[in-house]
Structure 1
């Protein structure tokens, strides 16, 4: 490798520069230590290990959001249930890569479960027969324990998850990332690109304060070469469960996700309404699709999943 490392950050000084690994732009880059040591030409062996480990995973999808609080983790759990519930022969895995805020064990109703380690690696926790989960939440002594780690240690944990979890044969692996465009995202892209990353699903809510950060997330995908499968607008409307009247809790003052997608030429996968029963199901770890299969949210979700599957199958090798 020469010049700029693959998936390099903006303003990367390049591996041949005296500032390689030392410039401010290098902070948080997975390649920083390699560049600083002058060994940037050495290929990270984890890339090949991860490629081999995930060779039986057909579609690998990053779930991203620029803004916290838009329901990205909730959407990830809903997508997992929807994909797994569509066909019992479809195997789905969820990787909770939000190291400091792991919420998938609660959302999927498997808090308190233990991860087992064997000669073939870590075994994920099974939510249903065809839906499994790996999260750092399973490795903490208590759900209230704080993970106070700097970037390199978080990157190492993501590398370990990608290289050591024995998922078996999966049709879909959904990777729930923290908000932003930081260390964890660079690491995930670096390690998954050669493993056949299908693309990213970006989650937003309608208001401009969320869309501002989501535009940055879309720009991140463009700069690191990640295909955007589409955008999901979460909490687009509130639909009263009693009278079915609709209200805008988060007004789309600039046209919301549909206008943003039109301006930036990215697909809009669909909009999910705000449903208080959905929120309660997530808090309790219950499958909302089973609780209210005919709700507007489930109808919208099934259409979104159909578009994601179609988009992934269109890029399958």
Structure 2
């Protein structure tokens, strides 16, 4: 019988995804040690989660992946489960001091207008009288600084906490404020995790009613760091009507469901184009996809954002559409979305 080596064992473990995420347990750094005598295998992992079902799923799938390898006789998978960082007396992920609600805006894929939705949702929440912050969590492709027309550098207070930039009544933080124009952010996983924690914990957000998180597309390191360590009031999923976007939206919904974060609803962006010359509606990316997906997932369709040249122009000049044209069709749709998000977030607290 042939023997097995550590390289083959590691490759087998790379086929095991973290539940709800597209990344595997090896790239997430969960696997700490692999031992084998050529036939018997012992694997040691460390996992930070408050959900024992996640640990059981990873254990069973890792064990099955290793047992499928020719030459493996016995497999022992040990997982050291550690509780996430938490505030005193509060089980699970911790709240950010002085922040009442944290709302994640997410998508399964790029190019659906998630940052546009996050920026305008934050402004619409602010228009209801709430104190609102907006954190750009996309460290590789930050866009919030440009969308609000600012290249201001954040400063620090006497305790070395970051003071966020303020624009349009919002507190803002983005890697875009720290980079020179067109400079790429070349960051590896552990550094990205560190920046994520710093922007969440070492920025003077308080007092806020809402902190809106503009997440990067997909389901990777940043999302995992956030759902494991921050108490989220809920998530808003952004999609466009066509099936290729809806497939990825389902992955984002699945990620939040597996990590016990309530999905507040779906926003269908680029829903339709209303021709200004003749008033004819064109469903460029299909029709009704967001509504059907919301029904399938049993979550609300929070709103349908039409394609408008003004939306693109306002983002390019640093004044998002809710601020640039508050009485317009798109701004009013965002106000409607914000009202629903606020109602659902408050209901989650039993108010």
TM-score, normalized by the shorter chain, greater than 0.5: yes
Q: Which residue of 2 is the match for residue 295 of structure 1?
A: 328
Q: Post-superposition shift, 1:48?
A: 3.9
Per-residue deviation at 1:35? 1.7
> What is the root-mean-square deviation in Å for CA atoms of aligned residues?
2.5
Correspondences of 1:244-259 after superposition (within 5 Å): 244-252=279-287, 255-259=288-292
- Asked if 1:63 corresponds to 2:102, the answer is no
The aligned residue for residue 138 of structure 1 is 177
Partner residue in 2 for 1:94: 134
- Residue number among 254, 259, 264 corresponding to 1:229 in the alignment: 264
**Is the contact made by 1:91 and 1:169 (CA closer than 8 Å) also made in structure 2?**
yes
Aligned to 2:120: 78
Tell me, yes or no, if structure 1 residue 280 matches structure 2 residue 302: no
Distance 1:156 1:187 in 2: 9
Give the match for residue 199 of structure 2: 161
Gaps of 5+ in 2: 1-16, 33-44, 48-77
| Aligned residue in 2 for 1:28 | 28
Question: Is the 1:11–1:25 Cα contact (8 Å) retained in structure 2?
Answer: no
Aligned pair count?
286
**Given the alignment, which residue of 149, 161, 166 partners 1:126?**
166
Name the structure 1 match of 2:156.
Answer: 117
Contact 1:28 1:152 in 2 (8 A): no
Indicate yes or no: 2:189 matched with 1:151.
Answer: yes
Distance 1:302 1:164, change over 3 A: same
For 1:244 and 1:310, the matched residues in 2 are separated by 33
Q: Deviation per CA, 1:236-288, whole angstroms, max 9, x where unpaired?
A: 00123344321112113xx4010011112111111110110111000111142
Q: Give the equivalent residue in structure 1 for 2:18.
A: 9
Q: Cα distance, 1:11 vs. partner? A: 10
Q: In structure 2, what is the Cα distance between the partners aligned to 1:32 and 1:296?
A: 50
User: Which residue number in structure 2 is paired with residue 313 of structure 1?
Assistant: 346
- Structure 1 residues 243 and 136, CA gap change in structure 2 (3 angstroms): same
Cross-structure match for 1:271? 304
Change (3 A) 1:62 1:11: closer
Does 2:211 correspond to 1:173? yes
Closer/same/farther in 2, CA of residues 73 and 294 from structure 1, 3 Å limit: same
Alpha-carbon distance change, 298 to 11 in structure 1, aligned in 2, over 3 angstroms: closer
| Offset of residue 299 of structure 1 | 2.2
State the partner residue of 2:230.
192
Distance 2:268 2:20 in 1: 32
Please state which structure has a larger fraction of its residues in helix: 1
Partner of 1:279, secondary structure, is helix
* Residue 186 (structure 1) shift: 0.4
Task: Indicate the residue corresponding to 1:219 in structure 2.
Answer: 254
The CA deviation at 1:98 is 0.4
2:7 aligns to what? none
Could you report, residue by residue, the CA deviation over 1:147-201 in whole angstroms, capped at 9, with x for unpaired residues? 12221111111011111001120010000110001111000101113xxx10100
Q: Deviations over 1:16-49 (max 9, x none)?
A: xxxxxxx9524225x666829x99466565x449
Q: Which has the higher contact order (CA 8 A, sep 6+)?
A: 1
